[in-house]
């Protein structure tokens, strides 16, 4: 058995010799937390099943890392999925997947926690377990194996990963993970069997779900008949599991010393989450429905955190993040004061998620004089009719005013996000996307010379659990494949560039988003056939996935393209994400009628069922 120093040396040598970006495998970055592993009561490896570059850009990952490491009795370390070059090299050399902090194999941790941000990382979870020397199936692990836990948006329909994960933590992990670790510390040396330990944790810690403790029964037509706790534990664990929610964002943990990578990463900047949740009620939006209610940080807290993060990192860009930054109630004051605070330090302010609203037109002027980062706007649908179906209450005029103002302040172009394959969509709606993009490009001629550069990204719509479209049929792969040629034909200017997401990957995402635990064998087969990094064009191989469907006899269209009847029990019916089934059904019916539901600001509550809403402050503290 190699010693840790040995392992570190071998991994570093291998990374330098065989990987294109060795800096992502070395650890020791600025602000990395160093502790003596022998001095802590429990060790957790925060495992991100995608590249280092994406994982390190993800705010939630930095939050958990900083929050857990504030405690003296816990050491939180990091591991990422090695890219193909390093993966092959590690296999050749027989090197296990290790943490970046201490080069400890992940099999030696008390807990390995995966962040499931999107469905296309599922095979990477298996790959990381395998590379770490941990049995893939939860049922095959003995008491020496670490507890394998998972959280993130995909955990709100945990069933496709039920075979591989011991315990899911549902909802906002910073609210529950420290408490979970307290119980791990208390129980880990009590001589419990693995099953006893998992049962004890699932019984003690709210918002946790251990799939092995629940029985599943199917109807003859393949739909779900029941999913309920096993008789032996039914009096100890909940039949309905709720998700964790941070009630007050103002007092919640905010990183002050994020790790600064050696390599360039996707979001190489200070990220400050200014607001969580969204009022708007877009019917397709998983985050908008499951991250309710809206919670804020005060302008003062954000300014103070910006200063602290700047001092600890030296970054030259600050991003104000949230689902909808332009909806932050005090956005004018916030941007003004932030610009003032950093104007002499060549630090730019970026607002990555702008929604079209009446504030949009004012924002570019407030950022004038700063370095220009990309203006990104997500109209999602181009026609008024389709916007009513999806409850996207935006006006073209507000969009045009915002873009015009941006051109006036020196922006050369914008990025526009749309979805295709939305319920009731026609070719006319798609043609509308091309027309809208062209109009946005032409607007620049009204204020200066030349057309604006528009990068247009069109994603296939995937119905998600816990949204009003959770029972809707997804557009078929064949329909999604028509989108690119149709849009291409309509765009008559070189100023508009088009990126349409792959139809086969959207289909796969649709299979897993609303899948059940029978898909475990599909994921396992795909892993055995070599599928990994399925979210990446360079590595995605749909032919292998087709072979996996064939080998397992699973019909993907049953999951992706089938409308669910109102009374069908859904594989995530035992999980409550806050919004009630009544509200979702009501919204689905209003969608059919093309009726808008107003957003719930200013006391216009739509009775969505989110209990914790009563406890949360309704405006940023000042």
Site residues (vs ligand SF4, CB under 6 A): 292-293, 600, 605-608, 610, 613
Q: Smallest distance from the beta carbon of 554 to ligand SF4, in angstroms? A: 36
Q: Which is nearer to ligand SF4, 283 or 444 (CB)?
A: 283
- Going through 62-133 in order, the beta strands assigned E by DSSP cover 74-80, 111-115
Between 204 and 601, CB nearer to ligand SF4 = 601
Q: Which helix or strand (DSSP H or E) is residue 320 part of?
A: strand 317-321
Q: How near is the Cβ of 600 to ligand SF4 at its closest, in Å?
A: 3
Element (H, E) at 551: helix 542-552
Taking the alpha carbons at both ends of the chain, their separation in whole angstroms is 57
Cβ neighbourhood burial of 489 (10 Å; 0-12, 13-18, 19+): exposed
Shortest distance, position 279 Cβ to ligand SF4, whole Å: 6
Q: At closest approach, how far in Å is the CB of 157 from ligand SF4?
A: 21
Residue 474 and residue 461 in contact, taking contact as beta carbons nearer than 8 Å: yes
Nearest distance in Å: CB 513, ligand SF4: 23
Q: Which is nearer to ligand SF4, 276 or 527 (CB)?
A: 276
Residue 283 CB, shortest distance to ligand SF4, in Å, is 14
When the beta carbons of 278 and 496 are compared against ligand SF4, the nearer one is 278
477, HSE (Cβ side, Cα atoms, 13 Å): 16
Distance of CA 236 to the CA centre of its chain: 31
Q: Are strands 224-229 and 214-218 parallel, antiparallel or unpaired?
A: antiparallel
Indicate the residue among 286 and 518 with the shorter CB distance to ligand SF4. Answer: 286
Nearer to ligand SF4, 573 or 606 (CB): 606
C-beta closer to ligand SF4: residue 47 or 294:
294
User: At its nearest, how many Å lie between ligand SF4 and the CB of residue 614?
Assistant: 8
Locate tokens 């992502």: which residue?
24
Shortest distance, position 546 Cβ to ligand SF4, whole Å: 42
Nearest residue (beta carbon) to ligand SF4: 600
Nearest of 258, 1, 257, 181 to residue 104 by alpha carbon: 1
Distance CA 80, CA 43 (A): 16
Q: For ligand SF4, which is the closer residue by CB, 48 or 284?
A: 284
The least distance separating ligand SF4 from the CB of residue 609, rounded to whole angstroms, comes to: 7
Q: Are 114 and 49 in contact (CB under 8 A)?
A: yes
**Two tokens at 123?**
């095979």
Name the H helices within 259-418.
286-290, 299-313, 331-342, 363-366, 384-390, 396-408
Whole-angstrom Cα Rg for the chain: 24
Instruction: Note whether 292 and 472 are within 8 A (CB).
Output: no
Using the minimum distance from each CB to ligand SF4, give the nearer residue, 223 or 606.
Answer: 606
Which lies closer to ligand SF4 via its Cβ, residue 25 or residue 469? 469
CB of 378 to ligand SF4, least distance (A): 21
Q: Output phi, psi for 487, to 5 deg.
A: -70, -40
- 387 three-state secondary structure: helix
DSSP 545-590: HHHHHHHHT--HHHHHSPPPPTTPBPTTTTEE-SS-HHHHHHHHHH
Q: How many CB atoms lie within 10 A of CB 538?
A: 7
CB nearer ligand SF4, residue 105 or residue 293: 293
Q: How far is the CB of 588 from ligand SF4 (least distance, A)?
A: 16
Helix (H, G, I), strand (E, B) or coil at 147: strand
The rounded distance, in Å, linking the Cα atoms of 91 and 85 is: 10
């Amino acid at each position: 058995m190699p010693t840790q120093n040995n392992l570190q040396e071998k991994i570093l040598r291998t990374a330098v010799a065989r990987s294109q970006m060795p800096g992502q495998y070395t650890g020791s970055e600025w602000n990395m937390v160093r502790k003596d592993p022998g001095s802590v009561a429990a060790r957790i490896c925060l495992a991100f099943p995608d590249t280092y570059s994406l994982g390190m850009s993800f705010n939630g990952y930095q939050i958990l890392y900083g929050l857990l490491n504030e405690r003296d009795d816990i050491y939180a370390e990091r591991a990422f999925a090695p890219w193909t070059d390093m993966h092959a090299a590690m296999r050749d050399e027989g090197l296990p997947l290790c943490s970046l902090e201490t080069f400890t194999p992940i099999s030696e941790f008390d807990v390995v926690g995966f962040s499931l941000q999107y469905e296309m990382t599922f095979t990477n979870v298996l790959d990381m377990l395998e590379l770490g020397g941990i049995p893939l199936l939860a049922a095959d692990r003995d008491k020496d194996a670490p507890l394998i836990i998972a959280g993130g948006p995909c955990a709100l329909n945990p069933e496709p990963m039920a075979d591989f994960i011991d315990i899911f933590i549902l909802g906002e992990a910073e609210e529950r993970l420290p408490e979970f670790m307290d119980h791990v510390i208390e129980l880990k040396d009590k001589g419990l069997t693995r099953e006893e330990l998992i049962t004890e944790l699932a019984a003690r810690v709210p918002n946790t779900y251990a799939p092995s403790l629940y029985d599943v029964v199917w109807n003859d037509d393949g739909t779900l008949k029941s999913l309920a706790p096993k008789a032996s534990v039914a009096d100890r664990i909940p039949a309905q599991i709720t998700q964790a929610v941070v009630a007050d964002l103002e007092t919640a943990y905010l990183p002050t010393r994020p790790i600064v990578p050696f390599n360039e990463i996707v979001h190489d900047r200070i990220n400050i989450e200014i607001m969580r949740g969204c009022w708007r009620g877009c019917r397709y939006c998983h985050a908008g429905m499951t991250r309710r209610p809206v919670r804020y940080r005060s302008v003062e807290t954000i300014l103070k955190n910006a200063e602290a993060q700047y001092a600890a990192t030296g970054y030259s860009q600050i991003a104000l993040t949230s689902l909808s930054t332009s909806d932050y109630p005090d956005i004018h004051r916030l941007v003004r004061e932030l610009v003032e605070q950093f104007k002499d330090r060549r630090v730019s302010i970026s607002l990555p998620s702008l929604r079209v609203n009446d504030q949009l037109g004012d924002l570019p002027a407030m950022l004038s004089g700063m370095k220009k980062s990309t203006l990104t706007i997500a109209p999602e649908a181009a026609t008024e009719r389709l916007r009513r179906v999806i409850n996207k209450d935006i006006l073209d005029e507000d969009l045009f005013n915002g873009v015009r103002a941006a051109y006036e302040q020196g922006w050369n172009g914008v990025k526009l996000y749309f979805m295709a394959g939305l319920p009731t969509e026609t070719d006319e709606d798609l043609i509308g996307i091309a027309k809208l993009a062209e109009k946005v490009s032409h607007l620049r001629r009204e204020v200066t010379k030349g057309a604006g550069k528009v990068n247009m990204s069109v994603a296939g719509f995937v119905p998600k659990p816990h949204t009003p479209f959770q029972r809707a049929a997804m557009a078929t792969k064949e329909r999604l494949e028509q989108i690119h040629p149709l849009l291409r034909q309509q765009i008559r200017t070189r100023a508009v560039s088009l990126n349409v997401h792959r139809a086969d990957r959207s289909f796969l995402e649709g299979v897993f988003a609303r899948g059940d635990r029978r898909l475990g064998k599909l994921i396992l087969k795909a892993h055995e056939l070599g599928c990994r990094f399925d979210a990446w064009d360079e590595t995605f191989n749909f032919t292998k996935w087709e072979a996996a469907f064939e080998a397992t006899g699973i019909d993907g269209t049953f999951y992706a393209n089938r409308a669910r009847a109102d009374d069908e029990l859904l594989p995530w019916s035992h999980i409550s994400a806050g919004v009630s089934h009544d509200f979702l059904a009501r919204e689905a019916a209003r969608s059919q009628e093309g009726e808008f539901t107003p957003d719930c600001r200013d006391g216009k509550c739509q009775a969505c069922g989110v209990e914790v809403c009563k406890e949360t402050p309704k405006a940023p503290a000042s």
